[in-house]
Amino acid sequence: MNTLNQTEQVQDDAEDLSQRRIRSFVLRQGRLTKGQARALETGFPQFGVNYAPELLNLNALFNRADSKKILEIGFGMGETTAKIAQVLPDCDFLAAEVHTPGVGALLKLIQENELNNIRVIQHDVVEVLHNMVADGSLDGVHIFFPDPWHKKRHHKRRLIQAEFVQLLCTKLKAGGYLHVATDWQEYAEWVLEVLNAEAQLENTAQDYAVKPSYRPLTKFENRGLKLGHGVWDMVFTRK
Ligand SMILES: C[S@@+](CC[C@H](N)C(=O)[O-])C[C@H]1O[C@@H](n2cnc3c(N)ncnc32)[C@H](O)[C@@H]1O
């Protein structure tokens, strides 16, 4: 192991010991653009949800009862979230992300596109699910390009793990869906194995699914596809 790896290992171990749970993200100081800062200030009061260990009333949050309620996990800069919310106006999206610039960016998109069907929460989604989302209340869960945590010793940080998938299943309605997409083949195989092993889930495809039309191709993904890189979608439903 070289010195850099040793330092990383020590940092990893220290973090693991200091936390009750291994997290799927590392918080980095991110620079906010002026637009993102303004959107946080003006948009969060209307479209933001503060973390609190109390169950959310999703119908009240979106001010309608007849819509499908979808949780998006780790929306990054929110481009995909905003596009999907536009093409699926009958669905409401609770979008979770931990990084402040991303939260500002999505709030900016919500304001620019006058979207009423997104609410944003800045918190670890594992805690949000445990403490704020009622059992059997979600029609769908979107997880697009979760951090692949390439190194073997970091695999424990991967969001998609048996225990996490079980938690998602308790929050999904019967017939609700879980859609995961990744551009890292080894992680795709890992995700497929974990989802196949969960007895409460059923694959909608033989293995990988055809990309559902609501998920837009991002610039990054398009570039990768042109270079011959793959993207794998997996769509499972809750029995
Ligand atoms: C690789 S990025 C993908 C972003 C976006 N979905 C996309 O397709 O561009 C993964 C994101 O998941 C977020 N994330 C990871 N673990 C999370 C957690 N436990 N709760 C909320 N967000 C999380 C990270 O902060 C990061 O922005």
Which of the four pLDDT bands, split at 50, 70 and 90, describes residue 30? confident
| Residue 122 Cβ < 6 Å to ligand 1 | no
pLDDT at 20: 59
Per-residue pLDDT of 153-173, as tens digits, reads 999 999 999 999 999 999 999
Which of the four pLDDT bands, split at 50, 70 and 90, describes residue 1? very low
pLDDT at 12: 52
13 pLDDT above the threshold of 90: no
Residues 35-39, mean pLDDT to the nearest whole number: 98
pLDDT at 10: 46
Cβ atoms < 10 Å from Cβ of 166:
14
Residue to mutate, 26, 70, 72, 73, ligand 1, most ligand atoms under 8 Å from C-beta: 73
232 three-state secondary structure = strand
Architecture of domain 55-238: 3-Layer(aba) Sandwich (3.40)
Give the catalytic positions in this structure: 147
Which of the four pLDDT bands, split at 50, 70 and 90, describes residue 224? confident
| Residue 182 Cβ < 6 Å to ligand 1 | no
Per-residue pLDDT of 110-140, as tens digits, reads 999 999 999 999 999 999 999 999 999 999 9
Distance 75 CA to ligand 1 centre (A): 6
Q: How far apart are CA 54 and CA 68, in angstroms?
A: 21
Per-residue pLDDT of 50-90, as tens digits, reads 999 999 999 999 999 999 999 999 999 999 999 999 999 99
Q: How far apart are CA 133 and CA 71, in angstroms?
A: 10
Residue to mutate, 81, 97, 121, 132, ligand 1, most ligand atoms under 8 Å from C-beta: 97
14 pLDDT above the threshold of 80: no
Length of the chain in terms of residues written: 239
Of 71, 47, 51, which is closest to residue 61 (Cα–Cα)? 47
Q: Are 159 and 146 in contact (CB under 8 A)?
A: yes
Could you tell me what percent of the chain has a pLDDT over 90?
A: 85
